[in-house]
Every structure is written in C-alpha cells, then in structure tokens.
Structure 1
Amino acid sequence: MRQRIFFKYEKRIRDQSPLDKVFEYFSTQEQDGQEFLTPVDMLRAVVPTYPPSESTADRSGYLAGEPRSKAVQPNWSKSEASFFQQFDVDGDGTISYPEFLLLLTLLSIPGKDVKTIFDVVDLDSNGYLDKSEFMVVVELLQGMANVHTSSVGRSKKLLLDGTHAGLFVAFFGKDGSKKLYLPEFRDFLDRLHDELVRLEFRHYDCNRTGSITALDFGRSLAATADIRNVDRLLDKVDAMVPELARQRLTLEEFRSVAEMRRNVHTLVVALEFFRQVGRSLSKDDFSKLLVKLMRVSLSAKVLDVIFAVFDDGDGALDVPAFLEAMQRREVMWARRRNPDADGAPTDALLRALDRIRSWLPGGSTDLAGFRVPA
C-alpha cells in the first residue's frame, strides 16, 4: 500500500507540476551548486514507474528539505549512461535542466510527424537544419507542448541558459556550424525512445537478471493510465493468477510492446471498428492484427498480461481502456499541450509551423536572431 501511495503521489507530480519542480523532485546529483539528473532520474521524471516487486524501494524522488542521503537513490552507474554521454559536455552522463527540457520537447514529436516538421522548418529546402532553424523547432514545440516552468520560486540550483547544452554541441558542433540532416535526426529520436525503454526495463530488473516479472510488466502497463483509472487497473494486476504473475519477460518482449505503443495510431481504426460493430476482440484477433498492421509479434506471456490488465470482464480486450493507456503513454511527453478550438494538438502544431514564413520579414529565410512572436 505504501508503494502505491507514493506511486500515485509521484504520478501527480509528473502530470500536474511545473517542469522545474518535476526536475527538482527527481534529481539526485548536485555539482557546484547545480542539480542534475542521472539517466535513471530522467526516466523516472518522465515515465510513470511503479516500484519494482523485487525491491524494497517505495519511491523515486525526495521531498523538499529531505537530506539526499536519506532519499531513495537510483540503481545507476556511469557505465550505463553511454547514450547520454554522447551529448554531455563533461562526459559524466548527467543531464542538466536545459537538456531535460530539450529532451522532453524532442520526445513530444510524434514519430509519424518527424519528416513533416523537419520539412516545414527547413525553409530553404536544402535537406538539413542549421542551428537557427533547429532553435525554431524547439521554440515552437515548447510553445505547443506548453513546456514551462513556474514563474515564481524557481530554485537557483537550476541552470536556465540552455544555448550551449551538450545536445546542441553534438548536433551542430562547438562553433554551431554543423548541419543536422533528417536521417540523423530521426535516428536520434528513435534511439532516445529506445534508451528510455531500456532504462524502464532495467528499473524493474533491479537484480540485473536480464528479465522482469509479469507482475512488474502489468504494473508498467497500468502505470501510464489516467490517474482516475490507475487503482482499478493495479487491482487487476494484483489479481493475476500466481502462475502468470511469476513468469518472466525479456527485454525483447518488453521492446515489442514499446514498438506497438509507438505505432498505436495504426491500431486505433481497426480496434474501434471491432468495438463499433459489437465484435469482441480475442487474443487471437489482437495478435493477428498486430502482425498484419505493424509486423509486431507479441509472445503468449505478453498477451496474457495485456488481457489480464485490460480484460472487459468477458475474456475480451477492453478497447477504450487499452487505447487510453497506450495513447496516453505516447502523448505524455506533451501532456501539457492543450488542443485549441480549431483542432487536435498536432494540427495546431503544423499550423504554427506554417506561420513561420509569415513571421519572417519579406519572406526571408534568414533565421539569425529569430524569435517566435508573443
């Protein structure tokens, strides 16, 4: 019960608090008076993670005024930070506050929209973005996703100048003259998502056995649902038959679910069709759909857990509950983005990108010193 209480408390922090408060709660490193995230902190700051069943830990962050020595420290070593070290200026694999905001912003880009966003902002159509063009992407996405910090009470332990963040150096070089091409950008986003999947798996694999329990996998599925539905779904996880709860899943099985989730938009129409015509969705139907539409094959264990968590009471998949949890996970990076009256968030984003040309004087494509108008 204590684990669930803290889990829900931390979930509300992620969902409802300004990002500087999220950063401060989950950060465990301090250097020269500045706070930093480890890669594991980064995961826990953006992904709802339930305490591992094979651990005694009950929370991920620490409360204001609580000594760090008494806070729950993530199981992390610098050798596990290779992905983040590639854009870390001092090479220690930690993540500054500006880098946290930048990574969160990049995570908000839907996979299906990467090329569209890249092409629209590539104003001179030369196939790459320079640093000025990339800054426009970041500024627009942060505006659309409402990536913000609190206006008062910000800790002095947070660096706010992100113009020299390590990721910018990795993309554009120390002098800012390198070019960022679409394949490189898409590859980075894919690796960023995959790294978070790997870190999430290692969070539950706290004993480093190379596998996690089906119980932990079920909790990872329930953890991303709306806070109002979490207790009901976690109760269903806890009610799984012991034979299923004790089974173990590999990283590849865990990754296959992440692949399904990142492409869940292709499933929506098919699953809604089943629901609208009143046809129940069996495990066999669901498995065949995934293979046909996504070329994703889920193991029998994974399917058993999904149907245990999202069962409709008659042995079929509860489509609305399943889609809500899966889609919420993929938009949680942009959870502060609010649809306007004219359409969906992505539509509004693309309209905003299209307005860039109108903001540039005389149709110029020179973005030096450009700022998005208030």
Structure 2
Amino acid sequence: MRRSFHFVRAIRGAARRSFASQTRGNRSKILLGVGAGSLAAAGLAIGCNRRWTTASCLPRVYADSPDSEKEAKVSGGSRRRRFLQFASCQYNGEPYMTPQDFLESLSFSEPTARIGRRKVDEKEMDRYLRKVPPVSKNSRTFFRDLWKDGLVSYPEYLFLTTLLTKPKRQFEIAFLMFDRDGSGTIERKEFLAIERVVSKQQEGKEPFCTTSLLVHLFGRNGERLLNLESFSRFMDNLQEEVLDIEFHEVSRGLPVISETAFAHLLLHDSNLDHSEIDDYLQRLEQRSEMGDGITFPQFLDFAQFLNELEDFAVAVRMFTLAGQPVTQDEFQRAVKSSIGKRLDPKLVQVVFHIFDVDGDGKLSYAEFINVMKDRKNRGFKSRDAPKGWEGFKHCMRQKMMK
C-alpha cells in the first residue's frame, strides 16, 4: 500500500512538472525512458555466477562475458548486466535486444549462443518497423510474432519488466494522470513522460531511436493516440504471453504441469539454496497425493494474484496481528479481497502443502511472503550473490551440491 502511494505521488509530481514546463514554452523532448524494475543478475564470484533455468531449475556456473561485464561497470553496474548479457544487436552504437532476446531473458538463465552483437543498418531497421502491427491488432503472441525482427532498448526492457511485476491499476492511474483533457487518450510524448517517471530517467534527452514498441503503440511517426483500453489490453497480453511461454516450456506441450513442477516455478527465482528447495519439494511430495496437475488458467490466476501481493499481505497481516492462524479459508478470503475472486481450491491446497512448515494446516506467513516476493519480481530484485572470497566459496558450494 505504501509503495502504491509513493508510485502515485511520483506520477502526480512528474505530471505537474511536465505540464508547467510546457506552459513556459519548454519543448525539450523526453528520453525514451522505460520501466524501473531493476534486474538483479546473480552475483559475480571470481568469474562465475549461479543461474537458474526455467525448464530444469538446475543451477549453472559459467564465466561472464568480459565485454558485457565491462559495459555493465561503465553504464550502471548490475542493473544492466542481464540486459547486456542477452542483447544480441547493436544500432547506432547502442546495444538492443530483439523480441526473442527479451522473452528469453525472462525464461532462461543464458542467452542463445552467439559471438558478439549483430549490427543493424538503416535498411534492416526500416524492415523491422514496417513489420510492426498497430496496437489494435495486439495479441498475446506479439513478441513471438516479431521474434528477431525488432529492437527493444534498455529503458523499454525496464519498462516492460515493470509491467510484469507491478499491479495493473498503478499504470492505469499513471495513464489517467497524463490524460490532461480527460479524453481517454494520450499522445506519444505523454506516454514517454510516463515511462520516464517509472524509470526515473532525466528530462531533456533524446530516445536512441524509434523502436518497435513505439511504432506498435503510436505509429511510425507518432500519429496515433493511445487509449486506456488498448494500453490495458497490451499489459494483459504481455503478462499472458510471458506466462504462456513459461508454462509450456515446462509442460512440454501437455495441457497441465505437475504439482511438483508448479512448486519449482514458484521457488526457482528465490534466494533459497538447493537443499532448502529440496526440503520444500519433499514436503510437498510427502503431504500431497499427486492429482490432475495445474492447468494454464490456474497458473495464470495465481500469477495475477502475485501482482497484487502487497494488498494480500496487508489483508493477511490483519489475521496475524490478531493472533489468528492463516487457514485455507482465511487465505482465500484475503485473496478475494485483493483480486476480487478466489483461487482454485486444489491450487491453494498445493500452496499450503509447500508453505505449511509445521504440518498443522496453517500457512507459514512470513516464509510464504518472502518467497512469493522473489517469484513476483522474477528474481529482478533478489540480493546479489556474494563476491570476492565469499563469492568463490558460495560458488564452490553450489557446484559441489549438484
């Protein structure tokens, strides 16, 4: 709740500054800023990192690219490390992701094997932009349809990942704050102002280029207006596309994933070590009779619930402060208060089997919230792994535990 308040206050302040500067005749263009989800890559430990793969959830230890590491130190440290690791293209001297790179950065521990970055020329860039459909044709396969034919800048990467980890209503509030005439639409420059606020970028800087995202939302020359309905649909489809990839990477084409696979997906972005994760999985397998599995709609509902985790935490905290145990019924009531509906009972039962430490049928609240925060943020805000000598010992322990 407090974070939501600060988010709205930042939007209001930026809106006032933006509009005041326009009345003074300040027409300076706004940087193509996008999203503030700082993506924490696993920490460097004398040339080796621990990563997690979505498919297998197994750690890997490997050497970082010297070029990417050098770039990260020069241009923002660990905040850029993952972007630079996956960015496979270069345009006008700047690194860019393709839509494929963007999706893989959310689902896999390592990028597709390549040597250096491919340089994109003006002719190729023009071909990319001509291929982009208008936002009226947005779908949950938008990024997969573009695949290698498009560019995603670092600010856009931050913005898009923030869309995946923040409540949808926060961005709807931001949209309405910049809709000055109450028409239900915003222009490209107003959208860039929203992005700049979210990414905490400074004013007065030019975007690197007109990207696929901007053309999709506003047209090649920024001639179209974006309405709230279209922006809301874009957010929903982005969320669903990423989750669809993640789910079907594990299901291998089947309509369901096992309860154990679902637990893996919840735990693999956490700061838990391998032995701790094994304890969770063993607890689940000992207490649960493997049933029909988890369907994609159930998985999607749970992901949407996680985006409202702050409201849920407030509701559940009321029970804990009153000394009341968090049973499945109280859990469902708190879920409904935050997202307006209950989760599938079988899904909730699986969650309790994982996070009921004492086996008394009650949720271990603090443990559940901490792990779910990591899952919600997809590891983007996880603490960096230790470095130096401590990092080396951490790296060796992880390697020996495989």
**TM-score calculated relative to the size of structure 1:** 0.63
Quick one: structure 1 residues 18 and 161, their matched pair in 2 at CA, closer, same or farther if it must change by over 3 Å?
Answer: farther
Verify: 1:287 aligned to 2:332, yes or no: yes
Verify: 1:96 aligned to 2:152, yes or no: yes
Q: From 278, 300, 308, give the equivalent of 1:263.
A: 308
Name the residue aligned to 2:143.
84
Verify: 1:25 aligned to 2:85, yes or no: yes
Which digits, 9 at most, give the CA deviation of each residue in 1:141-175, with x for residues without a partner? 1117x9xxxxxxxxxxxxx9643111101111111
Q: From 149, 163, 175, give the equivalent of 1:118.
A: 175
**Residue 200 of structure 2 aligns to a residue in which SS?**
helix
Quick one: structure 1 residues 188 and 62, their matched pair in 2 at CA, closer, same or farther if it must change by over 3 Å?
Answer: closer
Name the residue aligned to 2:322.
277
| Alpha-carbon distance in 2 for matches of 1:188, 1:280 | 39
Quick one: structure 1 residues 135 and 274, their matched pair in 2 at CA, closer, same or farther if it must change by over 3 Å?
Answer: same
**Residue 286 of structure 1 aligns to a residue in which SS?**
helix
Contact 2:305 2:339 in 1 (8 A): yes
Name the residue aligned to 2:353.
308
Name the residue aligned to 1:181.
227
Contact 1:46 1:333 in 2 (8 A): no
Structure 1 unaligned blocks of 5 or more: 50-58, 67-79, 147-159, 337-374
**Residue 297 of structure 2 aligns to a residue in which SS?**
helix
Superposed counterparts of 1:139-178, under 5 Å = 139-143=196-200, 162-178=208-224
Aligned-pair identity in percent equals: 21
Verify: 1:296 aligned to 2:376, yes or no: no
**Residue 241 of structure 1 aligns to a residue in which SS?**
helix
Q: From 102, 105, 117, give the equivalent of 1:42.
A: 102
Higher mean C-alpha displacement, 187-196 vs 246-255: 246-255
Higher relative contact order (CA 8 A, sep 6+): 2
Higher mean C-alpha displacement, 181-190 vs 92-101: 92-101
| Alpha-carbon distance in 2 for matches of 1:303, 1:64 | 42
Which digits, 9 at most, give the CA deviation of each residue in 1:216-267, with x for residues without a partner? 1001111243x15775245312442266457521111111211221222332
Q: From 191, 195, 209, give the equivalent of 2:254.
A: 209
Contact 2:260 2:285 in 1 (8 A): no
| Alpha-carbon distance in 2 for matches of 1:315, 1:222 | 20
Name the residue aligned to 1:74.
none
Contact 1:38 1:94 in 2 (8 A): yes
**Residue 59 of structure 2 aligns to a residue in which SS?**
helix
Quick one: structure 1 residues 267 and 104, their matched pair in 2 at CA, closer, same or farther if it must change by over 3 Å?
Answer: closer
Which digits, 9 at most, give the CA deviation of each residue in 1:55-80, with x for residues without a partner? xxxx54468979xxxxxxxxxxxxx9
Which digits, 9 at most, give the CA deviation of each residue in 1:325-354, with x for residues without a partner? 334444559749xxxxxxxxxxxxxxxxxx
Tell me the matched-pair count. Answer: 291
| Alpha-carbon distance in 1 for matches of 2:161, 2:362 | 35
Contact 1:261 1:330 in 2 (8 A): yes
Q: Which amino acid aligns with 1:84?
A: F
Verify: 1:320 aligned to 2:366, yes or no: yes
Which digits, 9 at most, give the CA deviation of each residue in 1:33-64, with x for residues without a partner? 9774454x5345236x6xxxxxxxxx544689
Name the residue aligned to 2:281.
237
Q: Shift in Å at residue 122 of structure 1?
A: 3.0
| Alpha-carbon distance in 2 for matches of 1:316, 1:188 | 38
Q: Which amino acid aligns with 1:261?
A: L
| Alpha-carbon distance in 2 for matches of 1:184, 1:261 | 23
Structure 2 unaligned blocks of 5 or more: 1-51, 70-75, 117-138, 383-402
Q: Shift in Å at residue 196 of structure 1?
A: 1.6
Superposed counterparts of 1:58-77, under 5 Å = 59-61=109-111
